[in-house]
Amino acid sequence: RIRNLIQSNPGAARLYSVLSEHIDGNCGAVVADQQFLADQLSETTRTIRNWVSFLEENNCLVKIPIAGKI
């Protein structure tokens, strides 16, 4: 899956990598806002949203709303 992700959308693969580095071992989730992710990857929040959508569409990511945010 990772190799396919890298070939089809390298930016989304970078995001996936950052998310995997920040997984909470107790719950298996990552809680991070788009600005944090954008800062980590030196990208815009719009780019992060596009990559998140790509990862969702390819069943690599599931967003869970928290306190009115995603």
Specify the residue for token string 């869970």. 64
Residue 62 lies in a domain: no
Read off the pTM. 0.85
Residue 69 lies in a domain: no
Could you give the number of structural domains in the chain?
1
Residue 30 lies in a domain: yes
Q: How does pLDDT run across 28-57, given as a tens digit for each residue? A: 888 888 999 999 999 999 999 999 999 999
When pLDDT is cut at 50, 70 and 90, the band that residue 62 belongs to is very high
Query: Which residue range is the domain that position 36 belongs to?
Result: 2-57
DSSP code per residue over the chain? -HHHHHHH-HHHHHHHHHHHHT-BTTTTB----HHHHHHHHT--HHHHHHHHHHHHHTTS-----BTTB-
Residue 25 lies in a domain: yes
